Amino acid sequence: MDGEHFLTCPLCEATCGLKVRVTDGRVDLIRGDEKDVFSGGFLCPKGSLLHKIHDDPDRLRTPMIKRDGKHVPATWEEAYAAIEQGLTPILEAGNRNAIGLYVGNPNAHNHANAIYGRTLIQALGTNQIYSASTVDQMPKHVSCGMMFGDPDLIPVPDLDRTDYLLMLGANPVESNGSVCTAPDMPGRLKAISARGGRVVVVDPRRTRTADLADQHIAIRPGTDAIWLAAVARLLLDGAAERLGDQAEYVTGLDELADVLAGFTPEFAESICGISPDVTKSVATGLADNERSAVYGRIGTHTTTAGTVASWLVDLCNLLAGSLDRPGGAMFSSAVHGIDRAEPGGRGFRIGRHQSRVKGYPEVRREFPAVTLPDEILEPGDGQIRAMIVIGGNPARSLPDTARMEQAFDSLEFMVSVDIFLNETSRCADVILPPPSSLERTHYDLALYNLAVRNVANYSPAVFEAEGPHEEDIFAKLALIVAGQGAQADVDVMHALTLDAVLGARQAAVPEMGERPIDDLRAMVTGDTPADRVLDVMVRAGRYGDRFGAVPDGLTLDKLKAHPHGIDLGPLQPRLPNAVQTPDGAVAAAPPEFVARLKEIVETLATSADSPVLIGRRDVRSNNSWLHNVKGLVKGKDRCTLWVNPLDAAEWGMTDGDTALVASSVGELEVSVEVTDRTMVGVVSLPHGWGHDAPGTELKIANEHAGVNMNALVPPTDIDPLSGNATLTGIPVNVTAAVH
């Protein structure tokens, strides 16, 4: 194992290639892999410290069982037996909805979890499914689901070829990009300006991304939808010409003049605080540059208007003539995906069932994460009595965390699959630790669907896993909830999972359809059960060998032979065939969105003028779980409240003072940082901090606890179309703390 290893960083969406040096059985250096076909050597401080998570003495290496209120180490057999004992009576009571599932962000960075999530959900048979998606990108899924018929068909800005990028609510210099996979996003943005193009950033804060952009436009939090509607209205002029042949497969264009009529630049100014001249210049920039793209992220999504804003982003792309065209907003062609032969499909719907307590519509089989505490605390048939939390920290990442923790504490039984004993897993009766990221193989099943080039990279594990693989844990949990018992053999679930994927691919890929499944199965390779499924996906995929039918096509073995990845070139147009709406056309004006836009105007026009709280990310954090790495938390305190100098003067505060910040659900005290980087009336706190909870085992994070922003975020203001939480523009009251 000593020597050089190449692996894709699993921490954020950038998928950087890492060069990992192992000496005497330990990692002693991580650098960017300059030969990586996508990242070319780029990495950030988190990637260079990835081994510190593996080596962290606080990282769990054995299961933990809670006995008399304290977690003690246990064997895997004991842990699984305890889970069987805890869950079986609840299931035997007859209502499968009594068990809830929450899956967090790291599941999107782990192909085993992505594949086996389905296996577990099927075995659970519950409709109480929650994930970090509804505090994140769900609006984008819904907008694309309605416009293109497929919630996973999401356009990304063609960064390397665009000449005009309008970016809203994203700060990739810190986040390294999201729902747009592009390692070295800062470098790619600089390259746009360097080749004579223009980058325009819309953000209530002057971020580091705004610093490197050609233009920063400050916007009032929560108002992007209104401003985008004004930009779209201006883009109607000349749109037919720019669309050209594309108009043949777009419906709803004729309605837009009516829908957008009231959204003059002057009206937008009254709500968003952006001058009409600026709005007009942006519309002109998008229209006149043949290669222009609009991209919106967290700041644009996490509001009650998230889905509508997300729709308007792509409507602007469409009207600017940028959708599905080089340099515009294009769709990736991931290696494991399958090309459709013609447009048209089942389309996308929400609300096939409703949440029990609040009646929220299901979206992609999930309910809004903000309503999880309601479903746990509110008695009645279908009440959640036990939870399984996998790779998530809802006690810090969801709104109104005090109520979330109260709900977890009230459960009859809770399982956490996590590598740390943190704010969430401390509530669990049993914690199952999967291997560290250096002990597992890696392929970005989710993120290559959103990449700005068509690439594929598979990494073998650096070290052998000490315990079961994460898919073994999923398989065992599936067996237990299926009533097979803790002793049942995981290979049964592995075989079922493989055959389910093989069967689905066989039905979709003509070259596989006629062949006996046994023959296909016999050809599958892979080091782990999840890798074997991955092999099926790659071989059946658009570049695949179709199990021998395309001899030079891709297989998992071929990916393995390319440790720096395989580059399959720039993005290619995919419309209209990729469109899966029932009529096979792109819907420019889905009626649900048009109706919701009207409602939003009414609520925003009447909203009060109190200070509002927004978030912020820092390159050395990753949501809530990297604060136990010394190299990432040392130095200046980053969990501070940003306050504009004019507000600070009015509130009688100076740098380093303690402020009391109160919202409708909570209050906290935090150190003030006075800076003109945030707008007047807008204060900012990072999320994912607040590591002082008793019963956690996070030595370094405890010493750098910070405050928990989500204690202030109310769980009530959701985007009704996606169920997404509002995480920005939270009304707060800020005063100097008196001691």
Residue numbers at the binding site for ligand MGD (CB under 6 A): 12-13, 104-106, 110, 132, 135-136, 168-172, 174-176, 178, 202-205, 207, 219, 221-222, 224, 297-300, 303, 390-394, 397, 417-420, 422, 434, 470, 614-619, 621-625, 687-688, 709-710, 713, 727-729
User: Rounded to the nearest 5°, which phi and psi values hold at 164?
Assistant: -150, 110
Could you tell me the strand order of the sheet in which 641-643 lies? 730-731, 612-614, 682-684, 641-643, 667-674, 658-662, 733-736
Among 6, 7, 27, 47, binds ligand SF4 (CB under 6 A): 47
Our finding on whether 472 is near Mo ion (CB under 5 A) is no
Our finding on whether 44 is near ligand SF4 (CB under 6 A) is yes
Subset of residues 141 to 200 that bind ligand SF4, contact rule: CB under 6 A: 176, 183
- Joined together, the tokens standing for residue 316 give 């602007």
Shortest distance (Å) from residue 105 CB to Mo ion:
5
Q: 375 is in the binding site of which of ligand MGD, ligand SF4, Mo ion, none (Cβ under 5 to 8 A by kind)?
A: none
Dihedral of the alpha carbons of 694, 131, 627, 654, in degrees to the nearest 10: -90
Q: 16 is in the binding site of which of ligand SF4, ligand MGD, Mo ion, none (Cβ under 5 to 8 A by kind)?
A: ligand SF4
Subset of residues 584 to 643 that bind ligand SF4, contact rule: CB under 6 A: none
Q: Residue 450: beta bridge partners?
A: none
Shortest distance (Å) from residue 216 CB to ligand SF4:
23
3 state DSSP class of 418: coil
Residues 154 and 334 sit within 8 Å (Cβ to Cβ): no
Q: 47 is in the binding site of which of ligand SF4, Mo ion, ligand MGD, none (Cβ under 5 to 8 A by kind)?
A: ligand SF4
Residues 270 and 686 sit within 8 Å (Cβ to Cβ): no
DSSP string across 665-684: S-EEEEEEEE-TTB-TTEEE
Identify whether 576 is preceded by a cis peptide bond (ω within 30 of 0): yes
Residue type, position 523, single letter: M
Shortest distance (Å) from residue 436 CB to ligand MGD:
8
Our finding on whether 374 is near Mo ion (CB under 5 A) is no
Nearer to Mo ion, 97 or 393 (CB): 393
User: Rounded to the nearest 5°, which phi and psi values hold at 731?
Assistant: -65, 130
Residues 438 and 21 sit within 8 Å (Cβ to Cβ): no
Shortest distance (Å) from residue 623 CB to Mo ion:
7
Shortest distance (Å) from residue 290 CB to ligand MGD:
25
Q: 205 is in the binding site of which of ligand MGD, Mo ion, ligand SF4, none (Cβ under 5 to 8 A by kind)?
A: ligand MGD
Among 136, 203, 400, 545, binds Mo ion (CB under 5 A): 136
Q: 553 is in the binding site of which of Mo ion, ligand SF4, ligand MGD, none (Cβ under 5 to 8 A by kind)?
A: none
Closest CA to 707 of 683, 728, 691: 691
CA distances from 33 to 253, 672, 736 (A): 46, 39, 48
> For residue 415, what is the enclosing H or E element?
strand 413-417
Nearer to ligand SF4, 44 or 65 (CB): 44
Q: 222 is in the binding site of which of ligand SF4, ligand MGD, Mo ion, none (Cβ under 5 to 8 A by kind)?
A: ligand MGD
Subset of residues 13 to 52 that bind Mo ion, contact rule: CB under 5 A: none
C-alpha span between 449 and 427 (Å, rounded): 35
Part of the chain binding ligand SF4 (CB under 6 A), chosen from 42-50, 217-225, 275-283, 341-349: 42-50
Torsion sign (Cα): 301, 307, 313, 314: positive
Among 5, 19, 46, 336, binds ligand SF4 (CB under 6 A): 46
Applying CB under 5 A, the residues found at the interface with Mo ion are 136
Applying CB under 6 A, the residues found at the interface with ligand SF4 are 9, 11-12, 14-16, 43-44, 46-47, 176, 183
